[in-house]
């Protein structure tokens, strides 16, 4: 249904932490689904051209959304404090 891709560098960081890629994919797929539903219900064209950020499992994930292609692209993964939980920023 949705696709989550990552740059080579981001994919490398995601692979180093157990279960991080799966958690990031789950969060980003939920964000994609929510954005699609908002667009459908409001009849709006959402502008998602900018860089977005979300915190997942002690990491800040920088990504871009393409609602027309139903895809998210992760381009940066940065570690934050280890006690952080998943938050949308």
Query: What digits encode the pLDDT tens for the residues 46-85?
Result: 666 789 999 999 999 999 999 889 999 999 999 986 554 5
Beta bridge partners of 61: 54, 77
DSSP the chain: --EEEE-HHHHHHHHHSTTHHHHHHHHHHHHHHHHHHHHHHHT------S-EEEEETTEEEEEEEETTTTEEEEEEEEE--TT---EE-
Q: Which domains does the chain have, with CATH numbers?
A: 3-88 (3.30.2310)
pTM of the model: 0.84
pLDDT for 40 equals 84
pLDDT for 34 equals 92
The residue ranking higher by pLDDT, 55 or 39, is 55
């Amino acid at each position: 249904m949705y696709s989550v891709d990552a740059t080579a560098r981001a994919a490398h960081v995601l692979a180093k932490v157990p279960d991080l890629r799966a958690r990031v994919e789950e969060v980003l797929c939920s964000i994609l689904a929510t954005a699609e539903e908002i667009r459908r219900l409001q009849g709006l064209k959402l502008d998602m051209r900018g860089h977005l950020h979300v915190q997942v499992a002690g990491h800040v994930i920088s990504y871009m959304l393409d609602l027309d292609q139903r895809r998210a692209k992760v381009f940066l993964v940065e570690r934050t404090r280890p006690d952080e939980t998943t938050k949308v920023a």
